[in-house]
Amino acid sequence: EIVMTQSPATLSVSPGERATLSCRASQSVSSNLAWYQQKPGQAPRLLIYGASTRATGIPARFSGSGSGTEFTLTISSLQSEDFAVYYCQQYNNWLGTFGQGTKVEIK
């Protein structure tokens, strides 16, 4: 089973600043990686898939990069609605796994 490790666990950022979240896979997943956002009491929402493609309706301030084992989600200028928990997820050989999440909180 591929293990996904996210860092940091918590990221304190001021509104308007840039946030950079990392996700590492225990073995190569090529570009088979997605990012989700989850707010309290809500189901997760897909942000990025295929490592770098924004899902429908996702603002351009969200961008994803990476391939193989190292991936990054960047939020270029944090808005108040972006404070949430972010998860990466890989899918390989009919099996998916999520990272443990990064909480983005207001500094």
Partner 1 sequence: EVQLVQSGAEVKKPGESLKISCKGSGYSFTSYWIGWVRQMPGKGLEWMGIIYPGDSDTRYSPSFQGQVTISADKSISTAYLQWSSLKASDTAMYYCARPIAAGDNWFDPWGQGTLVTVSS
The verdict on 94 binding partner 1 (CB under 8 A) reads yes
Does residue 49 belong to the site contacting partner 1 (CB under 8 A)? yes
* Residue 100 sits in the site that holds partner 1 (CB under 8 A): yes
Among residues 11, 21, 32, 104, the one that binds partner 1 under rule CB under 8 A:
32
Q: Which burial class, exposed, middle or buried, applies to 80 when counting CB atoms under 10 A from its CB (0-12, 13-18, 19+)? A: exposed
Residue 16: φ, ψ to 5°: 90, -15
Q: Please check whether residue 99 is in contact with residue 4, taking contact to mean a CB–CB distance below 8 angstroms.
A: yes
Would you count residue 24 as binding partner 1 (CB under 8 A)? Answer: no
User: Applying CB under 8 A, which of residues 31, 46, 67, 74 lies at the interface with partner 1?
Assistant: 46
Q: How far apart are CA 86 and CA 99, in angstroms?
A: 9
Among 14, 16, 80, 95, binds partner 1 (CB under 8 A): 95
Nearest to 31 by CA among 75, 91, 95, 101: 91
* Site residues (vs partner 1, CB under 8 A): 1, 32, 34, 36, 38, 43-46, 49-50, 55-56, 85, 87, 89, 91, 94-101
